[in-house]
Amino acid sequence: MNQPTASKAQEFASLGRPENLPDEIAHQIRQRILGGTFQPGERLPTEYELAQTFAVSRNVVREAIARLKLSGYVETRRGTGTFVSHEVGLRNFEILPVDLLQINALEQVYQLRVEIESGAAALAARCRTASQLEAIRLALERVDEAGQDWQRGTDTALDFHYAVGQATNNPYFVRLMAHMSHAIRGAVSTLRYTSTGTERIAEVSQEHHAIFDAIAAGDSDAARNAMYRHLSNGMRRHKIVLKGETDDANSSRPDHRPGDRGKAG
């Protein structure tokens, strides 16, 4: 059995005293498991070693390990230690908002979203019922009514996308899209905020209407392409925002930032 090295324990970043220490420690360990630093079947550093590394009590480390165990990332063996599960990623699928604070992870999630929702739009064009099409139309109407209100715009835009997912009549698409919408709500909120007062809002409206028109026409290829274009444009703009690049269109800003309401979930 592979033994953890001191260098691996030293690779963890400083906690910076976040509000929830167990969650932050669990996050860092999970990232290293997913990144391959700790391999399936490999023993993690001991509670004592992790407590020394993170400068916290062993109780805090124990809580973090309990979170990882509940999520299926690790398993504990009495008298032996904590080991990376051999079934990492097989039993559970999750996207955590804290992971999306990193631009690379956010981009990867958006790539996943683009592919899934493009397929959902194509399927909706083929499988939607008249009542489901009406639900998409009403959701689109509410997005249009939100206008420059980024808070309402966030909620109504996500509702529109979820209505498209429901029109697939595939419960697995619905469940996966619901999970992703919950995880990326904060990212969508930030994107909507930074787009308010710019030409991007009008572009988003046009893209939404193109998606609806294709689904209404039963054109699965057009629906797929319209959704792909819409989400790809959003992903590109979000990368600009996160990298702190300037946008000539950003001359106007609403009075309250997304963070004023607390971090969206």
Non-local CB neighbours of 192 within 8 Å, separated by 6+ positions: 150, 153, 154, 157
Chain mean pLDDT for the chain:
82
CA 124/CA 127 separation, integer angstroms? 5
Residue 90 included in any domain: no
Identify the pLDDT of residue 147.
84
Confidence of residue 47 (pLDDT cuts 50, 70, 90): very high
Please state the rounded mean pLDDT for residues 26-45. Answer: 89
Q: pLDDT higher for 255 or 189?
A: 189
Of 63, 84, 105, the last residue of a domain is 84
Residue 78 confidence (pLDDT) above 70? yes
Residue 81 confidence (pLDDT) above 90? yes
Q: What are phi and psi of 228, to 5 degrees?
A: -60, -45
Residue 91 included in any domain: no
- 36, 114: one domain: no
- 215, 108: one domain: yes
- 27, 148: one domain: no
Residue 14 confidence (pLDDT) above 60? no
- 241, 186: one domain: yes
Residue 57 included in any domain: yes
- Say whether 258 sits in a helix, a strand or coil: helix
Please state the rounded mean pLDDT for residues 213-232. Answer: 97
Please write the tens of the pLDDT for every residue from 90-104: 666 777 766 677 777
Range in 14-18, 21-25, 42-46, 53-57 the model is least confident about: 14-18
- Say whether 2 sits in a helix, a strand or coil: coil
Confidence of residue 34 (pLDDT cuts 50, 70, 90): confident
Domain total in the chain: 2
Residue 89 included in any domain: no
Segments forming the whole domain that contains residue 145: 97-261
Identify the pLDDT of residue 97.
67
- 256, 132: one domain: yes
- 19, 41: one domain: yes
- 79, 144: one domain: no
Residue 92 included in any domain: no
Of 40, 58, 84, the last residue of a domain is 84
Residue 1 included in any domain: no
Identify the pLDDT of residue 255.
44
Identify the pLDDT of residue 248.
41
Sign of the CA dihedral running 16, 19, 21, 24: negative
Q: pLDDT higher for 6 or 120?
A: 120
- 129, 54: one domain: no
CB neighbour burial string for 18-36, b if at least 16 within 10 angstroms, e if fewer: eeebbebbbbbbbbbbeee
Residue type for position 183: A
CATH number of the domain to which 23 belongs: 1.10.10.10
- 40, 131: one domain: no
Identify the pLDDT of residue 262.
34
Identify the pLDDT of residue 193.
85
- 40, 130: one domain: no
Residue type for position 152: R
Please write the tens of the pLDDT for every residue from 116-151: 999 999 999 999 999 999 999 999 999 999 988 888
Confidence of residue 155 (pLDDT cuts 50, 70, 90): very high
